[in-house]
Amino acid sequence: MTEDAEPAGERAARADAQDDEPESDATPGVPEDTGSEDADDVPEDVVSYDRFTKMDGAQYERVNEFLRDRTYITAREWAIARLCADFRTETGVEMTKIGENLPELVPFMTDTYTPQAVNQARAAFEDKVRTAGATFLYGAMSDFFTADELDDVMYEATEVAKFLLEVEGVDLAVEDELDAEERISSVMREVREASDELRHGEECPHCGGDLTTAD
């Protein structure tokens, strides 16, 4: 993987170096040289792709600002990570197809990307998820939060995640949402209990009770 691989287009040099820099449109007033034959070259699965239809008309800057306020990822990392998951085959991710058809696949992305740039954005997404996961888990295990405070953190995180899934076109039924929230809360309670036992042995640091005794 080369470090200087960059998105194609008029702002390729800066788009890959600055994760949070918005994509720009083509040169103002100069129409791109696209003929009717280009439309025929668009793969069928690209034409039928409808993950981001709710984002029609959205501007990159607004999407990026929303994500920056609530997550560690940028708009381009979110979009490309989603596409890499959806355009995965038995032999790997179709990075060339994603990069060449990025504006057709995601309304707020205006430039095409090289396969290297697609891979770099995907790698950046994965790195940030791992870093955020380690940060969250340490906070959950380090006794910084009470059980109620941890529930609040999980609720806020779940709401953001659900919103992004809904934007991607996932239909979340109320029953499924409640079930998912309960399972997440249950897991986090187990994490906190295991953390208490790990750090304090068999005695609860809050009440002095035996952590190994079943309720």
Output the pLDDT for position 213. 57
Over the chain, what is the mean pLDDT? 80
Angle separating helix axes 147-167 and 174-200, nearest 10 degrees? 140
Q: The pTM is what?
A: 0.70
**CA–CA separation, 86 and 98 (whole Å):** 10
Please say if the pLDDT value at position 142 is more than 80: yes
Q: Is the alpha carbon torsion for 191, 195, 201, 206 positive or negative?
A: negative
Q: What is the pLDDT of residues 28-62, one digit of tens each?
A: 333 444 444 455 688 999 999 999 999 999 999 99
How many angstroms separate the CA atoms of 168 and 162, rounded? 10
Encode pLDDT of 57-96 as tens digits. Answer: 999 999 999 999 999 999 999 999 999 999 999 999 999 9
Contact 6, 16 (CB under 8 A): yes
